[in-house]
A = this chain, B = another copy of it.
């Protein structure tokens, strides 16, 4: 199954260049998570030019070069950073390394795009905020479950057009397939992956802030647990949280690693946005037992019940907008403060989480 565990989730958007060849050049450093493929492809489709790649593991570099044969291999991170022709560096390093790498990238005068989650500690986040403030460079985070899902993108368009009135609540379900034998050792080490709410929870909070139009939120409750994987004592296979935004909207999300073997893709991700005049349900990666293809929007409003399949119709405007933000000094793709706030709130959910009692269910 090509899309068995989401580890290499790299959907294709439309090819829609916003710049001419050579106007936006980028490199990739840190290939620990397969998200690097989707991040790279997204920038390429928007007209970016891939220059070089670095990772301490030659096998990861070889895999990357198979997919992107035009790339040059740098012999060190320093060499990659010294290339004055590039505008941006991408990284999908081990989660706890993404913050420190970003500091080096901005110090080298380049913009940065990190895989999510961007940080595992509040200290990393504060250092990033300070570096951005000092340099004026961008610290982007590829929250792929929104910016690389066409249903999620279209939902934003519908909501911003007022289709469901004012947003009251966002619910997100983010189940993922574990596929433990395919996962690296760091994936199960809490100091390195950051905990389930920091890791896959980060998508959820970003979506909440985006769909509700909130600037910030309080975490009202969160919990984590390891229900079924005692062989990985630092792993969390379940987490959830509820938040209250500064504009009164609320959020609930659940993330877990319990996608059953029989599901045709890596996770039956859903988002339900409740508004005063209607609601939207996204079936993001599959319409279970109905359609193996993803990107389904279900909209119910005053007019009726609507099924809007958008696969291949919307694209991923995020990447082109990000390139233009970097070149023009604008803040349209995903505002910098929003990017950091989502990261901050997932760290807060994780730090405050009640550990539910797995012992009682084993």
Contacts and interface: CB of A to CB of B under 8 A. Distances in A.
A5 interface: no
A300 B278 contact: no
B307 A290 contact: yes
Contact of A274 (B221, B247, B256, B361): B256
Interface centre among A173, A262, A277 (most CB of B within 10 A): A262
A269 to B, nearest CB: 13
A58 B168 CA distance: 41
A295 to B, nearest CB: 15
A327 interface: no
Given A289-B307, A306-B289, A248 B166 contact: no
Contacts of A164: 260
Contact of A169 (B238, B247, B277, B354): B238
A210 interface: no
Contacts of A216: none
Contacts of A278: 260, 262
Interface of A: 164, 166, 168-169, 171, 173, 175, 220-221, 223, 225, 227-228, 238, 240, 242, 244, 246-250, 252, 254, 256, 258, 260-264, 268, 272, 274-279, 281, 286, 288-290, 298, 300-307, 354, 356-361
